[in-house]
Structure formats: structure tokens, C-alpha cells
Homo-oligomer: A and B are copies of this chain.
Amino acid sequence: MTVYNAPIKDMMFVLQELFNVDEFWQKYPDTQDFNTELASAVLEESGKLSRDVLFPLFRSGDEEGCHFDNGKVTTPEGFKEAYKQLSEGGWCGLGGSPEYDGQGLPKMLVVLFEEMLFGSNNSFALYPILSSGGAMCLMKHGSQELKDMYMPKLYTGEWSTAMGLTEPHCGTDLALLKTKAEPNGDGSFNVTGTKIFITAGEHDLCDNIVHLVLAKLPDAPEGVKGISLFLAPKYFVDGDGNLGERNSFSAGSIEHKMGIKGSATCVMNYDGAKAWLVGEPGQGLAAMFTMMNYERLSIGLQGLGSAEMAYQMARDYAKDRLQGRASSVVDKSKPADPIIHHADVRRMLLFVRASVEAGRAFTAYVANNLDISHFSNNDEEVKRANDLIALLIPVAKAFMTDKGLEACVQAQQVFGGHGYIREWGVEQLVRDVRIAQIYEGTNGIQALDLMGRKVVRSKGELNKPFYEDIQCFLDSDDAKLNPSYAQALEKLLTAHKKATEFVMKSSASNADEIGAASVDYLHMTGYLAYAWMWAKMCAVASSKKDEDFYAAKMHTGQFFFEKMLPQAYAHYDQIMNGCSATMAMPVDLF
């Protein structure tokens, strides 16, 4: 069976040759200690961790799953030891603030680590990655006291976080939430309510679990403005950081799911759990959303990492499996040729590969802007980066996970009947990656966020820096190296602008135009981003195409432009056909 091997060469290509991080990191005081040499060392180490520690638990974690017994959750065998290695190796505080001994790594580097976590073990990856999200939220919005108390052990990985948002009757529409927080008069609150789908709400990997829970104060206004954020630790912590009594909340059950079976998805019952306010009253959603951009990019990486693993599995199988004769016989001494010689198998492999490599480059671009936003002191630069982030995070989350599922399904198809058998692992990737299209805001919600809150509400202003960056490439000498790709990119850019204009105009008189166009628009935007990435990558590769790595880039890029990009225009046509077909049917006729 294939063993996960982190694609370090391609990762370094993206950092070094595509985004020239050595120069980028020199720009800001907090990143000047980073360089590609250090990056390479980090990737080598995390590559080993993912291959030798996490991947061996990939199949067994799925077969065993999590256990629930009377409020106690036990993770699959080996998870605890693996988490300890992660924690002791300092990997839990990788992106954390140096103020509490986090390692302060730029997001451009952290995303590559996260891709490896997801690539080697989706279920396991969620524990450290979601915990980092909670830590980020606390770091940004917690009081000095709360931060002093919790941050150090969150960064060491001794403690983890869990985020309590969803309730049985509300997921997307958090305005409906019912969980209550009553003030105790001493600055603390009692939180009461039920939350569902709480990833790692209870588990046995850490000594303490710090819950960040959305709830409403007694006098809270209706709607999302009434939502506040509270911190409730599983065990109370004294002034010296020692664990004390247990708080009054517990897991009521864990969900039986399609995949990510090693990840504990908990129903959490808060029975007057003692909690402290994080940030201002009524600002709970806003506080959550500061880390949401990071978290959603991470979930995009679940799509990417899973697709990379699926590629490795399918490629190995396709090289190994003998079946049928290639159009020109490869090896007469064998009864058949490896199926990788068959056009249709190559099509599937190249689809996966082209999606993965574009996704990796696109992630770096988005992470680059997150880093600018975080590290830069130049207001204009930060605003521009924030605009790009606002526009592209929903694309990164949804497009990369939609392509991630497609990629895993295609890779599974390469295996024929064996792809349906659990032992091979590729069907697990399909089941595991599927959740990434759903949680952290469904991909439909991402599309609405993009089309409605970002594009239409900004009157297209948020699109401008994105268009500028693409235009800047098109105007450069690099674009001249592969004129047909530049032409294809320019054509799609023009179509994208037209589609944007169309929806802005049509939605002025009919709000449903936004919802009806949104998913097509998100996909079209994804294709535009990937087309740009491929044009950029081929520009770098075209001068070096006699080396294998660059030759492969050129071939894969060709496949993207000729065999995938046409999809973008189907989305374009569907947008331009407007919302009538989507909205006309009365509800009773469904």
C-alpha cells in the first residue's frame, strides 16, 4: 500500500520559485528570521511526522473509530501517543504568537504543514488544527488574564480548544441559537444549552479542553447581535496553572458519521457551565470570524491534502496494475501493460494532479495575503490584503474541497473494483474529504458569502485587487512565455468581469439572482484563480522544461488548460441564464 509522502519538492517550488518568499519574508520585522532553508527543514521534519506517525494511523483510526462511554470519549489506538509526539515536537504552537512561546510561523508555511496533516490523516489532523483556531481566537479577543492562564498550554498542545457554535435547530443561521449565559456577579457566567457537531468537544488526547461557546446574555437583543462568546474549560485552572475541579458540561454522545471516524464529533450539554466572556458582549460572532478566515483556508487544505494522498495512491496503483494493452505495447514479456499507459487512466490522474498543484499554489497566494495582513504595518497594503482575503477565502474553502471530492472520486475510479474495498484506503479518502464541503460553513454558504456579502455588497470593489494581480501577470514578460495560456487566462478574466457585472445588475432588482448564481460564480472564480496559477507555474517552468520536475509542470499545465478549463464557461453560461429557472417552481410542486 502507498505510504503518504509529503510533496516537499512541489511545496518548495511554490514558496521559492512561485512566490519568492525569501524576499517576502525580509520585508517585515517579524518574519525576517524565516528563509527557505528554514522552511525546507520544517517541511522535512513535518514530512517525516506525517509519514511515520500519522499515516500509520490512517486506516486503523477509521476502522476503530472513537468510543463513547458515559460521557467519556476514547480516540482510536495510537492517537494519544501520536498527539504527544506532535505536542512535544512543538508542532501545536507552530503559528502561535511568540508572546506565549508560540513559534510565530508565517501562514505560508503553516498551510503546508496543515496540508501534510490532512494528507496523512484527516481525522487526526482536526485535533491540532481546530485547536489552533480556537487558540487564535482567544489570543485575539481574550482578556490578559484569560490569555495568561490558557495560551501557554494551548501552544504546547497540553490543552486543546473546542468551538461551540451549532445547535440542533441552527447551524448556518446562528441568530436562532438558544444557549444562555447567566452572569454570576463575579465576572463569570453560567452557560446552559446543547451544542451539536462539536469537533473534539471531548477526547482523551489532552489534559484539558477549553471550550469557546456562543451563547446569549439575558438582556441580549434578537439576532446575531445578541450573541456573545464565552470560555468554559473542562477543568478549572488555578492561579498556578494547575487543574482543579471539573466544570459542569459533558459530552452526551458522539455522532456516527460517513467518515473522519477518528475525529470525535460531540453533542455537548452545558448544564450551567462556569464560563468567562471573551471579547465584548454581543461581539461573539465577530470574534469567531477573526479566526474563520484561517480556519476556512485550513478546511480548503483538507480538500487539497486528501487529493494529494489520493493522487499518490492512484498513481502507484496505475503503475503497478497490469490490464489490457496500451495503444503501443509497452512490455511484451508481461501479459498486459500497466494501466497508467491508458489514456482514460491518465486523464483521471492528470485531473487530480492539476487540481492539487493549482490548489497548492492558490493556497500560497491566499496565505501570502493573510501574512501581509498580519505582519505588515502599512495600512494600504493591509487593506488590500484584507480585501483579497475577504474575496478569496470562500473560494479557497469551497473550490478546493469541491475539487478535493472530485479528485478523490477520480482516484478511487483508477482502482476499479479495488477502489471500493476499505483495505485500500482510497474510499476512505472519499468519505473523509466529503465533510470538508459541509462544515465550517457549507460550500453553498461560502458561495453566498462570496457573491452576496463580498462581491455585490462591495459593488465589485473587492474584485479589483484580484483582477489587478492577474492583469499584472498578463502585462508581464512572464505571460509572453506561453502566449496561449495567457490568452486563455485573459479570456476568462473578461468573462468573469462580465458575469460579475451581470449579477450586480440583475440582483439590484431581484435578490434571488445572488443565490441562484452563487455556486456557479464561485466555481468560475476558482477556475480563474487556478488558470492564473497554472499560467504562473508554466511561466517559471517553461525555461527549465528539460528537467523532469518542470517538464511535468508543463504537461500538467497543458492538461489544465485543454481538459479542465472549458468547465469554467459552463458556469458562465449558467450564471448568464439568470435565476428564473431556479426560482420559478412553487414549493408545493417539489
Given contacts A258-B420, A562-B577, contact A590 B516 (CB under 8 A): no
Given contacts A430-B258, A439-B417, contact A515 B558 (CB under 8 A): no
Partner among B322, B409, B564, B579 whose Cβ is within 8 Å of the Cβ of A343: B579
Contact A258 B427 (CB under 8 A): yes
Q: How far is the CA of A324 from the CA of B444 in the complex (A)?
A: 13
In the complex, whether A166 has a CB less than 8 A from a CB of chain B is: yes
Q: How far is the CA of A512 from the CA of B341 in the complex (A)?
A: 10
Between A and B, 25 residue pairs with Cβ closer than 8 Å are: A166-B417, A172-B324, A172-B416, A176-B322, A176-B335, A176-B336, A256-B422, A256-B423, A258-B421, A327-B511, A343-B515, A343-B516, A343-B582, A345-B444, A346-B583, A346-B585, A347-B582, A405-B409, A552-B585, A555-B581, A558-B584, A563-B577, A566-B572, A569-B570, A570-B570
In the complex, whether A264 has a CB less than 8 A from a CB of chain B is: no
Chain B residue, CB-CB nearest to A442: B416
Contact A434 B430 (CB under 8 A): yes
Q: How far is the CA of A438 from the CA of B561 in the complex (A)?
A: 28
In the complex, whether A567 has a CB less than 8 A from a CB of chain B is: yes
Given contacts A344-B447, A409-B405, A413-B438, contact A585 B563 (CB under 8 A): no
Closest chain-B Cβ to A447's Cβ sits at a distance in Å of: 7
Q: Mark A428-439, 1 if CB is under 8 A from B, else 0.
A: 001100110111
Closest chain-B Cβ to A530's Cβ sits at a distance in Å of: 15
In the complex, whether A475 has a CB less than 8 A from a CB of chain B is: no
Chain B residue, CB-CB nearest to A568: B570
Q: Which residues of B contact A448 (CB under 8 A)?
A: 344
Quick one: which of A548-590 are within 8 Å of B by CB? 548, 551-552, 555-556, 558-559, 561-564, 566-567, 569-574, 577-590
Q: Which residues of B contact A341 (CB under 8 A)?
A: 587
Closest chain-B Cβ to A137's Cβ sits at a distance in Å of: 20
Contact B569 A581 (CB under 8 A): no
Contact A171 B416 (CB under 8 A): yes
Given pairs A258-B427, A570-B570, 7 additional interface contacts (CB within 8 A): A176-B335, A259-B420, A327-B515, A338-B587, A419-B438, A552-B589, A569-B569
Quick one: which of A341-360 are within 8 Å of B by CB? 341-350, 353
In the complex, whether A518 has a CB less than 8 A from a CB of chain B is: yes
Main secondary structure, interface of A, reads helix
In the complex, whether A462 has a CB less than 8 A from a CB of chain B is: no
Contact A172 B323 (CB under 8 A): yes
Partner among B444, B569, B588 whose Cβ is within 8 Å of the Cβ of A413: B444
Q: How far is the CA of A295 from the CA of B189 in the complex (A)?
A: 64
Q: Which residues of B contact A276 (CB under 8 A)?
A: none
Closest chain-B Cβ to A324's Cβ sits at a distance in Å of: 5
This protein's copies in its complex: 2
Chain B residue, CB-CB nearest to A510: B327
In the complex, whether A99 has a CB less than 8 A from a CB of chain B is: no
Closest chain-B Cβ to A396's Cβ sits at a distance in Å of: 18
Q: How far is the CA of A574 from the CA of B344 in the complex (A)?
A: 13
Closest chain-B Cβ to A512's Cβ sits at a distance in Å of: 5
Quick one: which of A392-450 are within 8 Å of B by CB? 405, 409, 412-413, 416-417, 419-423, 427, 430-431, 434-435, 437-439, 442-444, 447-448
Q: Which residues of B contact A349 (CB under 8 A)?
A: 590
Q: How far is the CA of A542 from the CA of B169 in the complex (A)?
A: 40
Q: Which residues of B contact A258 (CB under 8 A)?
A: 420-422, 427, 430-431
Chain B residue, CB-CB nearest to A443: B413
In the complex, whether A532 has a CB less than 8 A from a CB of chain B is: no
Contact A582 B570 (CB under 8 A): no
Q: How far is the CA of A514 from the CA of B586 in the complex (A)?
A: 44
In the complex, whether A271 has a CB less than 8 A from a CB of chain B is: no
Q: Which residues of B contact A409 (CB under 8 A)?
A: 405, 434
Given contacts A172-B324, A569-B569, contact A197 B431 (CB under 8 A): no
Q: Which residues of B contact A255 (CB under 8 A)?
A: 420-421
Q: Mark A147-176, 1 if CB is under 8 A from B, else 0.
A: 000000000000000000010011111011
In the complex, whether A257 has a CB less than 8 A from a CB of chain B is: yes
Q: How far is the CA of A564 from the CA of B582 in the complex (A)?
A: 11
Quick one: which of A305-354 are within 8 Å of B by CB? 315, 318-319, 322-324, 327, 335-336, 338, 340-350, 353
Chain B residue, CB-CB nearest to A577: B562
Q: Which of A346, A448, A518 gathers most chain B CB within 10 Å?
A: A346
* 5 nearest CB pairs, A to B: A343-B515, A566-B573, A555-B585, A562-B577, A258-B427
Chain B residue, CB-CB nearest to A579: B343
Given contacts A343-B514, A590-B340, contact A413 B430 (CB under 8 A): no
Q: Which residues of B contact A555 (CB under 8 A)?
A: 581, 584-585, 589
Q: Which residues of B contact A229 (CB under 8 A)?
A: none
Q: Which residues of B contact A324 (CB under 8 A)?
A: 172-173
Q: How far is the CA of A335 from the CA of B176 in the complex (A)?
A: 7
Chain B residue, CB-CB nearest to A520: B563
Q: Which residues of B contact A139 (CB under 8 A)?
A: none
